[in-house]
Amino acid sequence: MHVCLLIFPMTLNVNEIRKDFPILERETHNGARVVYLDSTATSQKPVQVIEAMNDYYRRSNANIHRGVHTLAEEATSLYEGARERIAKFINAASPREVIYTRNTTESINLVAYSWARANLKAGDLVILTEMEHHSNLVPWHMLQAERGIELDFIPVTENGLLDLDAYKALLNRTPKLVSFTHMSNVLGTINPAAEIIKLAHAAGAMTLVDGAQSVPHLSVDVQALDADFYAFSAHKMCGPTGIGVLYGKSALLEAMPPFLGGGDMIKEVKLRSFRPNTLPHKFEAGTPAIAEAVGFGAAVDYLTKVGMKDIAAHEHEITEYALERLEEIPGVRLFGPSADKKGGVAAFTLEGVHPHDVAQILDEGGVAVRAGHHCAQPLHEKFGIPATSRASFYLYSTKEEVDLLVKGLYKVKEMFG
């Protein structure tokens, strides 16, 4: 059974929300107003996040954890305060379970290098899916080459859902880890994470969830999901680039060896030995992205104030409208499930036109979409295509922008006959 987006009454004042995002007021090189439909790649940033980071640099810039002077204590409080609010945002049991990383990719690699290399041996099975981003494929390919682990994959059906019957059959092979995306960055499919995790645990496997696309758009409760590890990035949820999170259950993180060695991740260092620090600092070597953590905390505050349920409801309405409008266009092929089973993503091809040409012509009218394989080459191979165009939506997206996308696609059709 697949989890659908819950529908709530629309309460977002999108016109007011858009005023918080300065970039949405700018024009492109040819004078067209920006129509930003690429939030799956990275979201835009509200002034509240920009100002929080600027204020840190203007008023409190100092290194953290290492000084007792006023600026150092302020910087440490801002950095750790953001961690506390992020932990609350995903309902982690403790801020100690929130590890700062550079992004989702690094979070997944942390698990692969620390937990997996300490716990997996030749012949052990890791289950992934056919819809994974490269960041949840390549680290396991690397471990397979190094350690001789086995990889197998939950198939994707023609309508863009995971084949859960095939998954249950794979679980009979007693995997050690099941690692999967909560929401596909291409298909938009919202996978039934709680069910996948429950089945994995019943089979004795650990779980790692790529939440890069889900945390920005859905209410995520890591304790309710019972995820062992959960990874996500700030830049897709109104925050800055260069910082992400690995959530992990404290018992697992305590048992894992450090990922990187250096300053701040140690309790004691001698010439011939060292003792690692306590959580979360054990996995945060060196001077971290302090301003970015401040921005991350401001982003979480912003999303919390707007309301995640309202954001999800708004995106559902925009996505449903976008799919209906795109289906009207002759030659458009849409990928992924219906709007009730997906997030704010519409991946498509236009017959006879390469996706890069589609994106370039749309850009002439100010419409920004993504074109390519979206770091999911195996998924595109599954559907027999080299690339797609992808429009993606967020809390600041409007139906008028969808109309401009459709208008632009008709222009593309005219140009290519």
Return the structure tokens found at 4: 């659908």
Q: What is the C-alpha separation between 354 and 374, in angstroms, rounded?
A: 15
Tell me the CA distances in angstroms from 246 to 35, 126, 158, 233, 253, one per residue in order: 32, 19, 32, 9, 10
Contact status, residue 290 vs residue 75, Cβ threshold 8 Å? yes
Distance, CA of 262 to CA of 278 (rounded, Å): 14
CB distance 252 to 276 below 8 Å:
no
Kindly state the tokens that stand for 386: 């080299």
Q: Which of 211, 206, 42 is nearest to 120 (CA)?
A: 206
What does the alpha-carbon distance between residue 313 and residue 217 come to, in Å, rounded to a whole number? 10
- Beta carbons within 10 angstroms of residue 74's beta carbon: 16
Tell me which of 375, 377, 398, 416 is the catalytic residue. Answer: 375
C-beta separation of 83 from 91 below 8 A? no
Distance CA 60, CA 53 (A): 10
Is residue 238 flagged as an active site residue?
no
In this structure, what are the phi and psi dihedrals at residue 329, rounded to the nearest 5 degrees? -85, 120
Q: What's the sign of the alpha-carbon dihedral 134, 259, 279, 252?
A: positive
* Residues catalogued as catalytic: 375
